[in-house]
Amino acid sequence: MFFLALVNLATEKAMAKEMKILAFGDSLTAGYRLDQGDGFAEQLETALREMGREIKVINAGVSGDTTKGGLARLGWALADQPDMVIVELGANDALRGIDPALTKNNLDQILSQLKEKQIKVLLAGMLAPPNLGAQYGEKFNPIYPDLAQKHNVALYPFFLEGVAGDPELNLDDGIHPTKEGIAIIVDRILPYILKVID
């Protein structure tokens, strides 16, 4: 009987569903120009596992992706049936000067679809580059807090907080974080992720 109980316990543990987090974004989550293991998804998974969390972080970052592209591929990205999605999109919209109203509408639809599927969400905010002017920033920057409030989802105000503008934490293009920059992002965003999953 004791042996049978042990077998049942081992089976239950094996069947226990490993939590999955989908890092759904652009080059910032894709690990642009970084070695394998140094990108956002990999470093986040390592950090979570070091905390004793059995969590798989799926890298669904596509370099150059816009909110429109993200909306178009959302269904495919959700095929892995994640328990939580980190939505990190909009940086390329801003870099291309896309109308903030379109960006907001795309993100709105993404969040609506995730809500319908009852998937937990952390919305990662972005800020417009200063060179696009104050008027563009005034329209773009409120997108994320507005949508987080509308959909009642958690908000990480600025994905590149503590990294943006620091040459030592970014690649030579001045846009994409280095391995060290990603480590800072993971460290800062982790408490927000834990609040969503706990």
Max Cα–Cα distance, the chain, nearest Å: 73
- Work out the end-to-end distance of the chain between its first and last CA atoms, rounded to an integer number of angstroms: 35
- Bridge partners, residue 170, by sequence: 177
Contact between 56 and 45 (Cβ < 8 Å)? yes
Q: Which CATH architecture fits 20-197? A: 3-Layer(aba) Sandwich (3.40)
H/E stretch holding 21 reads strand 19-25
**Catalytic machinery residues:** 27, 173, 176
CA distance 156 to 164: 15
CA distance 82 to 18: 10
Grade residue 16 by pLDDT with cuts at 50, 70 and 90. low
User: pLDDT by residue (tens digit) across 25-83?
Assistant: 999 999 999 999 999 999 999 999 999 999 999 999 999 999 999 999 999 999 999 99
Write down the mean pLDDT value for the chain. Answer: 93
Query: What are the percentages of helix, strand and coil residues in the chain, rounded to 5?
Result: 55, 15, 30
| Domain ranges for the chain | 20-197
147-169: average pLDDT: 97
